[in-house]
């Protein structure tokens, strides 16, 4: 993987020049909320390391879209949402989240909507400093080595730039005069110092490698009942999680014809009480304890059994979002101590 150097003064002009490769998206404040949205001016782009509320998955696994239109003669897929895009400012944990979605949606047979969006999108990653709730050092997702086209590490007056794909190389060639392939020993030391300093800023950690065994051994723990008493079943944890990918489909009929309409896909959540409700009225996970157990088992154990890597990427959004303090950190700590948290 090739690594170049670029002066910070060139950042604005270089990023805005990437418009020729697709519509620009990135972290942007809309009505006071940081979200991934189209970028028209460089000044709209927020590159301060702050997490968006909804993760990058919204651009690859949209919250709601039309899958196809149907009538008496058959159906026609709707791929109108697929466009050439360049996503700016993706953090390492976000890119890891997309790689987890790849595991789900690109496994044979690939999902045509996800693969269409993925194949038409370039990802420009950026380094960040840990937030108060960041857990990515524990999950090993604070550094990313794949899944991006370019990745920028901010070392104040210059960036080190990793080229992750042939498309990324083409982007560099557009403004080759901005980049220098002579990375000095001093530059390398700056990078090492940056990593060491960043690692000291993490406020929280948990024993991530041990969690699959701890989850297995704690299946009947009273911890699940304790958190179930608090849980609101609101589903916020699943909506803000970069790797949650559950969805439902709805057929919406045209009331004038009654035989034509559209099929929509919309996010769903295993935290919702009717998620596991089946015909006949049986609910396989009717209790909140069962639903919590399912979610954390999936995040910290089952996904790794299936795909070789756990599903939690340590972004800390569940820590920030849950109104009753149920999250990866509090649950893992309670299971590790084999006791419910003190009131």
What are the tens digits of pLDDT across the range 277-322? 888 989 888 899 999 999 999 999 999 888 988 899 999 999 999 9
Q: How does residue 256 score in pLDDT terms, banded at 50, 70 and 90?
A: confident
Q: How does residue 255 score in pLDDT terms, banded at 50, 70 and 90?
A: confident
Which of these, 97, 144, 95, lies nearest to 122 by C-alpha position?
A: 95
Whole-angstrom distance, CA of residue 158 vs CA of residue 4: 10
CA quadruple 194, 88, 327, 245: dihedral, nearest 10? -140
Q: Report whether pLDDT(181) > 80.
A: yes
- pLDDT per position as a tens digit, 45-95: 999 889 999 999 999 999 999 999 999 999 999 999 999 999 999 999 999
Angle between helices 288-297 and 328-337 (to 10 degrees): 100
Q: What is the pLDDT of residue 342?
A: 64
8-23 mean pLDDT: 97
Which of these, 43, 2, 11, 24, lies nearest to 178 by C-alpha position?
A: 11
305 phi/psi in degrees, rounded to 5? -60, -35
Q: Report whether pLDDT(341) > 90.
A: no
Whole-angstrom distance, CA of residue 93 vs CA of residue 136: 7
Give me the sheet containing 261-267, strands edge to edge. 74-77, 64-71, 261-267, 247-253
Give the other-Cβ count within 10 Å of 243's Cβ: 24
Which of these, 152, 143, 161, lies nearest to 199 by C-alpha position?
A: 143
Q: Report whether pLDDT(343) > 90.
A: no
322 phi/psi in degrees, rounded to 5? -60, 125
Q: What is the pLDDT of residue 338?
A: 76
Supply the pTM of this predicted model. 0.95
Query: Domains of the chain: which residue ranges?
Result: 3-199, 208-337
Q: How does residue 257 score in pLDDT terms, banded at 50, 70 and 90?
A: confident
5-13 mean pLDDT: 97
Give me the sheet containing 179-180, strands edge to edge. 33-38, 23-30, 85-90, 121-126, 150-154, 158-163, 3-7, 179-180
- pLDDT per position as a tens digit, 146-177: 999 999 999 999 999 999 999 999 999 999 99
Give the other-Cβ count within 10 Å of 129's Cβ: 14
CA angle 69, 55, 295 (to 5 degrees): 90
Average model confidence (pLDDT) across the chain: 94
């Amino acid at each position: 993987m090739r690594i170049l150097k670029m002066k910070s003064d060139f950042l604005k002009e270089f990023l805005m020049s990437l418009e020729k490769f697709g519509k620009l998206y990135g972290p942007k404040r809309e009505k006071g909320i940081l979200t991934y949205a189209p970028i028209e001016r460089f000044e709209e782009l927020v590159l301060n390391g702050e997490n968006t509320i909804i993760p990058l998955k919204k651009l690859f696994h949209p919250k709601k879209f039309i899958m196809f239109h149907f009538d008496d003669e058959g159906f026609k897929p709707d791929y109108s949402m697929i466009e050439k895009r360049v996503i700016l400012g993706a953090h390492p944990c976000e890119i890891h989240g997309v790689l987890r979605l790849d595991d789900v949606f690109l496994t044979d047979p690939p999902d045509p909507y996800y693969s269409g969006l993925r194949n038409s999108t370039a990802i420009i990653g950026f380094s960040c400093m840990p937030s108060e709730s960041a857990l990515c050092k524990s999950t090993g997702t604070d550094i990313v080595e794949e899944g991006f086209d370019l990745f920028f590490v901010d070392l104040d007056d210059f960036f080190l730039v990793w080229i992750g794909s042939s498309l990324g190389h083409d982007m560099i060639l557009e403004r080759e005069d901005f980049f220098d392939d002579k990375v000095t020993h001093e530059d390398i030391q700056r990078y090492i110092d940056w990593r060491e300093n960043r690692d000291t800023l993490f406020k929280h950690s948990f024993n991530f490698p041990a969690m699959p065994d701890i989850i297995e051994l704690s299946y009947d723990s009273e911890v699940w009942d304790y958190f179930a008493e608090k849980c609101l079943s609101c589903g916020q944890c699943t909506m803000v999680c970069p790797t949650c990918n559950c969805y439902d489909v709805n057929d919406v009929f045209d009331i004038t014809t009654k035989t034509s309409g559209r099929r929509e896909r919309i996010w769903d959540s295993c935290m919702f009480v009717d998620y596991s409700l089946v015909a006949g009225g049986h609910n396989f996970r009717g209790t909140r304890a069962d639903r919590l157990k399912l979610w954390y088992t999936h995040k910290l154990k089952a996904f790794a059994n299936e795909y070789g890597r756990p599903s939690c990427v340590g972004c800390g959004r569940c820590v920030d979002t849950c109104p009753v303090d149920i999250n990866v950190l509090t649950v893992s700590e309670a299971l590790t101590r084999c006791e419910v948290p003190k009131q």
